[in-house]
């Protein structure tokens, strides 16, 4: 194992995934292609988002069998407000109905749900549902599902920096203590390990402001499959590819 990877393992108390043939512990997914999937079928874009939500259900359920302990999904970005009012309203209604319909099943499947993103920017009723789902699954010890809602990586770093600056101004944090270890404690993802693998569906090869800080050493997989076609078999295939990656974390081959 490369020295830097070893050092990282010691720092985090965990063996980084992908070393010694292990699968990814934390997978993050940019679920793209719902709109195109619907358009190809002559249906409105929201039809694709509903199909996408059914796929979310399937992929979350597949995680324990596939050895994925942490799954983070990009559901709505800080930039997605630029879509038509009809689509934004439809997506918000879909998130609310997903939480309402899935809450019990998530708890019963031992899934711990967390949300990241700028919550105050969301509808109050949705915020309440999000808080309730987090509370209801707080004791769950299986899959850690994180849903990024009204999330943007730059926005997250800006919000974290603001809170960090408040702590410095109030004398709770010395400026010389601000380093690579301190800053992530202020991020929305402070309790999560960094993603090992970031998948984007639909053939687009960009990261669109997703987990900018956290994915510094993530492996990326851009696949052509549109999100509503992303079955558990496709997921398993992507995870298998990850096993053959040579992760060096900036070091050299050990
Ligand atoms: C991007 O594809 C997708 C989104 C902005 C929404 C993602 C939402 C879901 C998968 C629905 C359900 C999620 C949860 C958590 C219940 P796009 O529609 O922009 O695709 P396009 O590029 O083909 O237009």
**Domain coordinates in residue numbering, the chain:** 2-238
Span from the CA of 28 to the centroid of ligand 1 (angstroms): 14
Which residues belong to the active site? 32, 80
Q: Which of 98, 227, 228, 229 to mutate to test the pocket of ligand 1 (most atoms within 8 A of CB)?
A: 227
Categorize the per-residue pLDDT at 253 as very low, low, confident or very high, splitting at 50, 70 and 90.
low
Span from the CA of 186 to the centroid of ligand 1 (angstroms): 27
Q: How much is the average pLDDT of 7-26? A: 53
Nearest CA to ligand 1 atom 1: 32
Q: 2-238: which CATH topology?
A: Undecaprenyl pyrophosphate synthetase (3.40.1180)
Q: How much is the average pLDDT of 25-50? A: 98
CA 169 remoteness from chain centre: 31
What value does the mean pLDDT of the chain take? 92
Span from the CA of 33 to the centroid of ligand 1 (angstroms): 7
The pLDDT value recorded for residue 217 is: 96
Closest C-alpha to 27, from 220, 162, 228, 248: 220
Q: How much is the average pLDDT of 127-140? A: 98
Atom of ligand 1 at shortest range from CA of 147: 15
């Amino acid at each position: 194992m490369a020295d830097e990877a070893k050092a990282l393992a010691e720092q985090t108390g965990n063996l980084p995934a992908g070393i010694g043939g292990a699968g990814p512990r934390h997978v993050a997914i940019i679920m793209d292609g719902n709109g195109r999937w619907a358009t190809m079928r002559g249906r409105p874009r929201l039809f694709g988002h509903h199909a996408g939500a059914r796929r979310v259900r399937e992929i979350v359920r597949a995680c324990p069998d596939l050895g994925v302990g942490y799954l983070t999904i990009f559901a709505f970005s800080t930039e997605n407000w630029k879509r038509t009012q009809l689509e934004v309203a439809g997506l918000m209604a879909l998130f609310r109905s997903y939480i309402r319909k899935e809450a019990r099943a998530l708890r019963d499947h031992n899934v711990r749900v967390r949300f990241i993103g700028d919550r105050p920017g969301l509808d109050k009723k949705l915020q309440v549902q999000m808080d309730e789902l987090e509370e209801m699954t707080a004791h769950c010890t299986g899959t850690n599902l994180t849903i990024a809602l009204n999330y943007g990586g730059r926005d997250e770093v800006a919000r974290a920096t603001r809170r960090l600056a408040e702590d410095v101004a109030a004398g709770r944090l010395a400026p010389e203590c601000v380093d690579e270890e301190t800053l992530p404690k202020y991020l929305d993802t402070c309790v999560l390990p960094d993603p090992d693998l970031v998948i984007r569906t639909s053939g687009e090869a960009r990261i669109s402001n997703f987990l900018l800080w956290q994915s510094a050493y993530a492996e990326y997989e851009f696949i052509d499959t549109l999100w509503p076609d992303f079955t558990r078999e496709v997921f398993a295939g992507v995870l298998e590819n990850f096993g053959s990656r040579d992760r060096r974390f900036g070091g050299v081959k050990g």
